[in-house]
A = this chain, B = another copy of it.
Amino acid sequence: MCRWIAYRGEPITLDQYVTNPSNSLVAQSISALEATASVNGDGFGLGWYGEHPEPGLYREIRPAWSDENLRYLCRHLRSHLFFAHVRAATGTPITRVNCHPFASGVWLFMHNGFVGGWNRLRRRVEGMIPDRLYPSRVGTTDSEALFLSIMAECEAENPVDAAAKVLRSIKVMVNECGQPEQFRFTASLTNGADLYAFRYAVNDRANTLYFQERADELLIVSEPLDALKERWTEVPEGCALIAREDHPIRLQPLNV
């Protein structure tokens, strides 16, 4: 069970949400409030958009709370759209390439959840990644496989339909296991302009997901960063949050 935040708005330094708030993401790495695993110390990552055509990535296997590089980078990196993630591993190794966010071209993705029975289902899920994208599978997590599968569908569909299509396939797989497995998918996806988030589960409660919109600023989080609960709106289970550039934010049931 991981924790993450996604930000889009005026360019700001990352420390404003990653390290400064009372329940900042780094604070959540050592003690999350709404998570079943209260420690998220199995690595972390930042992904951000700047002037380079592709997003930047900084991923580390150390806990976020003790990484001095992270503090310096959060003070100095300025971005209009960034992802930050602290990991609690669910079985796959603690390596940088297994840390979120994942990147593919201009896209970034991060995930809180898991595919139950991964050892048995992995090969079928990896089979959803087309040959063209398979060299991008540099790690071994369920999350990266889901991401690349969605990327494949994005060629023909909009990202929400692409994600729904992949979720449908996974739903079939976990239900086809002798004993049905759980599947949780609270995730975010972006191309640097449009921002999407998903809250979904099969055979289980979905992991929490909140957002906050103020002026031109959108913040999407696993759990609120402060005690001002009235400012945060919960995304209902089974829904996608769609925040296309220059369009109003809307919630839409996932057609799974």
Contacts and interface: CB of A to CB of B under 8 A. Distances in A.
A71 B52 CA distance: 12
Given A62-B61, A137-B140, A96 B122 contact: no
A135 to B, nearest CB: 4
For this chain, the copies found in one complex come to 4
Contacts of A48: 76
Interface residues of A, number: 46
Given A69-B60, A75-B52, A96 B97 contact: no
Main secondary structure, interface of A, reads mixed
12 contacts: A39-B39, A39-B41, A54-B75, A56-B72, A56-B76, A58-B73, A92-B138, A93-B96, A93-B138, A119-B134, A119-B135, A137-B140
Contacts of A76: 48, 50-52, 56, 77
A78 interface: yes
A131 B122 CA distance: 10
A57 B93 CA distance: 15
Interface in A68-92: 68-69, 72-73, 75-78, 89, 92
A240 to B, nearest CB: 29
B89 A93 contact: no
A146 to B, nearest CB: 17
A87 to B, nearest CB: 10
A42 interface: yes
Most buried by B among A60, A63, A89: A63
A131 B124 CA distance: 10
